Amino acid sequence: MQFRSKNSAHFFINAATVAADLSVVLTEAKNISLEAMNAKALVARAGDNVRTFKPITDFMVELANDTIWLVKEINREALVLSRTSLAELHSSDANLRFAKAQQKASTAPYVETLDPIAKMAYNQHHQQSVQLRRHMRKLFELLDEIESRMLAANVVTATSRLEAATAADSYQASLEGIVVKLEKAANRIKHIATKCRHSLER
């Protein structure tokens, strides 16, 4: 993660875009949740035939809930970030304009009366930059977390495949269907999270 001020002009747009992209993740997470319900019903119906599949459905429910929560957090943080980066941009602009006035007025008799104002503008900009970095770090942490959840999902889908293969014939197709849907949703979420990360790093 790196923040370069020259990019801050576009940054608040990127942060707002991230919030928009995440709505897709939310849809996917809701799909996982729905699949988890299907799986639960199936497990209940099949009883001992697919007993080993039970922990997987539990995991899917947990995964869906965590993802929904994470997406909401990321969304909130992305909006805060967008607002913070805009404030940073304004404070940077003000800081530059005061510094320029000071420099232009270097020979003016009352130039020192600008000192406290220029200093305040400098400090405000500094504070905004610190804030911006803090919120950015937070957002990256959340994106990290969502990506690692999806990696875990990949491990689970691999195990589930094996479980599905050993299940009774009549349940195999349904179980495999669930696994495929979980895998697809996890991959899409991971893809979007990576895309969000890249657009923020740009």
Partner 1 sequence: MKVIKLHEGRSHEWLVFGRDEERPSKIIDTNQYMIKTTNHAIMLDPGGIELFSAMLAAVVHHVPVQQITHLFASHQDPDIISSLGLWDKTLPHAELHAPWLWEGFLRHFGCNSIRYNPLPDEGKSLRLDDIELQFIPAHYMHSSGNFSVYDPQAKILMSGDIGAALLPDGAPMFVEDFDAHVDKMRLFHQRWMPSNRAKKDWVRRVRQLDIEYMAPQHGAIFKGRDVQRFLDWLDELEVGTGIK
Q: Which residues bind partner 1 (CB under 8 A)?
A: 90, 94, 97-98, 100-105, 108-111, 113-114, 117, 120-121
Minimum distance between the CB of residue 99 and partner 1, rounded to whole angstroms? Answer: 8
Other CB atoms within 10 A of residue 57 CB? 22
Nearer to partner 1 (CB atom), residue 37 or residue 99? 99
Residue in the block written with tokens 């940054």: 11
Nearer to partner 1 (CB atom), residue 122 or residue 171? 122
Nearer to partner 1 (CB atom), residue 47 or residue 109? 109
Nearer to partner 1 (CB atom), residue 14 or residue 85? 85
Whether residue 77 contacts residue 153, with contact meaning beta carbons closer than 8 Å, is answered with: no
Nearer to partner 1 (CB atom), residue 97 or residue 126? 97
CA nearest neighbour of 147 among 188, 103, 95, 90: 188
Minimum distance between the CB of residue 101 and partner 1, rounded to whole angstroms? Answer: 4
- Give the number of residues written for the chain: 202
Minimum distance between the CB of residue 9 and partner 1, rounded to whole angstroms? Answer: 16
Minimum distance between the CB of residue 127 and partner 1, rounded to whole angstroms? Answer: 14
Minimum distance between the CB of residue 131 and partner 1, rounded to whole angstroms? Answer: 18
Task: Tell which phi-psi region holds residue 147, choosing left (phi > 0), alpha (psi between -120 and 50) or beta.
Answer: alpha
Integer Cα distance of 124 and 137 in angstroms: 20
- Phi–psi pair at 105, nearest 5 degrees: -95, 20
